[in-house]
Amino acid sequence: MITLATPALQSEDDKKSLSTILPRILPKLFMPNGYAEMKKIGELIKQSNLDWTVVRIINPNIKYKGQSYGYSFGDQPAKMSVSRRMSLNSCMTPLGKSQLIGKMPIVYNH
Residue 93 pLDDT greater than 80, yes or no: no
CB of 25 within 8 A of CB of 7? Answer: no
pTM of the model: 0.81
Domains of the chain: 2-109 (3.40.50.720)
Question: Helices H, strands E: what count in the chain?
Answer: 3, 4
Q: CA 79, CA 105: separation in Å to the nearest integer?
A: 13
Element (H, E) at 32: helix 32-47
Q: Which has the minimum average pLDDT: 31-35, 54-58, 96-100?
A: 96-100
The confidence score (pLDDT) of residue 94 equals: 66
Q: What is the pLDDT of residues 22-54, one digit of tens each?
A: 888 888 899 899 899 988 999 999 999 999 999
The separation between CA 43 and the C-alpha centre of its own chain, rounded to angstroms, equals: 15
